[in-house]
Amino acid sequence: MSLRKSIAVRCLVSLIVFLIFLASPLSADGVQTVANKKYDVWVSQSFVPAPFSPFHDCFTFTTNTLTVDACASSGPMTEVPIFGVLGMTLWIAGPIPCGGLNLHFSGTSLNGSGLPEGKDTLGAVGLGRTEGTTFGVEGIQNPSCSIATPTIQRPNPYKK
């Protein structure tokens, strides 16, 4: 068999294996989701001067919503597994009204059961559509997360 045919056959076999893998559902016990979990998150704002000191917030997920505690508002959320990466998911949330800011988030989550602390983590990019702002978000699962000052008594940290 010529080298060219050999390479073509290997590519075709690799493609078939890849397509079979994508068509196979992940096992339910391998997929960890943000659904029905609460996270301590630290949010960096694009509109403040460097070094972008983050503020603390809590994200509470249900199976199809995200509540942002600092805004005291919720919006729709969708989540899907990342094929080929056991225990990771992609999630998208928004719009979240947040006092008229129209927030949207896109993120990933990771099952932390294999890590020393065993806690799930997340990372996300946030967009404030009304003001044209962006945010960086990182978080760790914490069922008892709470923000220190009630939202009504402080300025909205997502607002310019």
Mean pLDDT, the chain, rounded, equals: 80
Backbone angles phi, psi at 35, to 5 degrees: -55, 135
CA distances from 99 to 30, 70, 71, 73, 114 (A): 37, 10, 7, 8, 39
CA angle 8, 85, 17 (to 5 degrees): 25
pLDDT of 61 reads 96
Asked if pLDDT for residue 14 goes beyond 60, the answer is: no
- Regarding predicted confidence, which is higher, 117 or 77? 77
Q: What is the pLDDT of residues 35-78, one digit of tens each?
A: 899 999 999 998 888 777 899 999 999 999 999 999 999 999 99
pLDDT of 158 reads 93
Lowest mean pLDDT among 36-40, 71-75, 99-103, 144-148: 144-148
Domains of the chain listed by start with CATH number: 28-153 (2.40.128)
pLDDT of 25 reads 44
Sign of CA dihedral 59, 61, 66, 67: negative
- Regarding predicted confidence, which is higher, 5 or 23? 5
| Other beta carbons within 10 Å of 5 | 9
CB 96 within 8 A of CB 66: yes
pLDDT of 155 reads 82
151: its two tokens: 């939202």
